[in-house]
Amino acid sequence: MVVHRLEARVRTRTVLVSYWPDLDGAPGSEIKLGVFGDLRMGKRYALGLIARTTAEPEEIERVGRLAKHLVEKPFKALREKYEEIWGAPSPQDAFERVLARTHSSLILSDAQEMIDATPVADLKEDLETTRTWCMDKLRPILRGRFHAWMGAAGAAPTDQREQLAERDEPQPDLARRVAG
């Protein structure tokens, strides 16, 4: 078994997802839904989502009939977008298109990016080890951003679900993890 010490540039990015019932509303009047994030390490790519499972009744009341499904069950609605991105031939390109697109009241904002040029753990030539490492690196970043954002808004701890997936770009082989 060959073991390599891998020096890699690891890029992680998180994006806040919120719904604005009134686009002219004051900052803080948005409904916070979740956080998307991605990680790139060479040809490896991971995509993650953490979102609220439900919104508060008073938040749901502020939303029109067409967007109710998004606010009533944010994780379910955002997971559909996640699956659309992940199902594309190039998920990273699909994610970039989603970020560049105008979604009216659904806002993806405040992208934060980190680049680490530090030694990556010794990785065996084993795809599963690398997959696990990528998802384990992205997960706490997503969770930290989600909980800090919700806490700064004075929101009570909420139920949330997360989904992460990772792939080696040239291969369509997928690895998925869902946690509740």
pLDDT, position 25:
80
- Range(s) of the domain holding residue 117: 3-179
Residue ranges of the chain with per-residue pLDDT less than 70? 1-7, 102, 117-128, 155-159, 162-180
pLDDT in tens, 154-176: 766 566 776 666 665 544 344 44
- Widest Cα–Cα separation across the chain: 60
Domains identified in the chain, total number: 1
CA-closest candidate to residue 157, choices 171, 143, 138, 136 = 143
- Contact (CB, 8 A) for 32 and 120: no
CA gap 79, 56 in Å, rounded: 19
The gap from C-alpha 52 to its chain's centroid, in whole angstroms, comes to 12
